[in-house]
Structure 1
Amino acid sequence: MNVTDAAYDTVHQHPGGSEALAPRLGMSAAVLRGKVNPNSDRNLLSLQEADALMARTGDFRILHAMCAQHGFVAQRTDAPESGSLISALLLAAAAKGDLAELVSAALDDGRISPNESDAIARACAQVMAALVQVSQHAEAAAGRGGQ
């Protein structure tokens, strides 16, 4: 997933969308929609606005997209989300299965369309995030004496 798609998805998939987020960012909903519009190269999100957007939504796919674009993976340094190491591993396996199913379906006609490529990129980001959760649970378990 590229940064532009990540910003668009962050706004449009948030409960209430741009109408709910824009006032919290100090702008109108129309301006926010324009800033994350992938078909526009004018009036883009600033770094400060992207940071505020991630802070207000708790959705860090913009950060993950930037990292992936440059060959990095971001990992939280605080406690993992609730659940266990086993549940995190199972969620990661499910995300990987979803990715494999998506790639298989995309290859059915012998080519990958731009929309299929975007969907695959989004699924890859979900797999990466799920695997980071596995790592965090393992680190948390080691910090508690390996429990």
Structure 2
Amino acid sequence: MRATVSIPPGLAYGADEAMPDTPQGLTVPDAVYHTVHGYPGGVVALAVRMGVSANTLTHKANPNNDTHHMRPDELVAMQALSGNYAVLHAMAAALGYVCAPAVPDQSDGDPVEVFMLQQKAQGEYSAAVADALLVEQPTPRAVRRVSDMAQDLIAKTGHQVAVLRGRMRKAPGGVL
């Protein structure tokens, strides 16, 4: 059995690495605009994939247009189809949050395994930070590596907490 993995260009490593999905200070309307207009093939190609009129999509993506707005389901579809999650990150940033990709738990609920995976992620994160600090100016690739390792560490820590929560003794009356 063969599996294929599609990695959007902006997520790949390399010397000419693209900017992260959310440049600092990007507003939600600007993120929508850049996602729509940055899609390979432009607005028309994305509109076809979303099943909407290119003219309507253009109006909805225009940050200066007060009459057309994207519905939440359209925002989700646009990001899923484009592989660009700048809108999600801009929304989270506007509310004081950050987003991390969800990764499946690989411990199968084994508390020792989840602890070891979390510790391994901690070590990989520490190594990535140390490598980036060894040079005066870290490369975009080094910073992306630190960011990826941080996201993985956050996910593994979440899995560890979930396993521990699942092993807690139930409180009297079934209340946690």
Classify the TM-score, shorter chain: 0.5 to 0.7
Equivalent residue, structure 1, for 2:99: 74
Change (3 A) 1:44 1:76: same
Structure 1 unaligned segments of length 5 or more: list them: 96-126
**More RCO (CA 8 Å, sep 6+):** 1
8 Å contact from structure 1 (residues 75, 132) kept in 2:
no
* Alignment of 1:50 onto 2:65: no
Report the TM-score, using the length of structure 2 for normalisation: 0.50
Change (3 A) 1:70 1:141: closer
* Alignment of 1:34 onto 2:59: yes
* Alignment of 1:25 onto 2:40: no
**TM-align CA RMSD:** 3.0
Report the TM-score, using the length of structure 1 for normalisation: 0.59
8 Å contact from structure 1 (residues 10, 61) kept in 2:
yes
Q: Distance in 2 between matches of 1:140 and 1:67?
A: 17
Q: Which has the higher helix share?
A: 1
Q: Distance in 1 between matches of 2:57 and 2:155?
A: 38
8 Å contact from structure 1 (residues 6, 61) kept in 2:
yes
8 Å contact from structure 2 (residues 103, 155) kept in 1:
no
* SS of aligned partner of 1:74: coil
* SS of aligned partner of 1:71: coil
Amino acid at match of 2:97: F
Q: Distance in 2 between matches of 1:70 and 1:14?
A: 26
Q: CA deviation at 1:134?
A: 2.8
Q: Which of 39, 45, 61 does residue 14 from structure 1 map onto?
A: 39
Q: CA deviation at 1:8?
A: 0.3
Equivalent residue, structure 2, for 1:100: none
Please tell me whether Structure 1 or Structure 2 has the larger radius of gyration of its CA atoms: 2
Give the alignment of 1:99-138 within 5 angstroms: 132-138=147-153
Change (3 A) 1:130 1:54: farther
* SS of aligned partner of 1:22: helix
1:63-115, CA deviations, whole angstroms, 9 ceiling, x for partnerless residues? 00000000000011227xxxx8649x75xx445xxxxxxxxxxxxxxxxxxxx
Q: CA deviation at 1:34?
A: 0.5
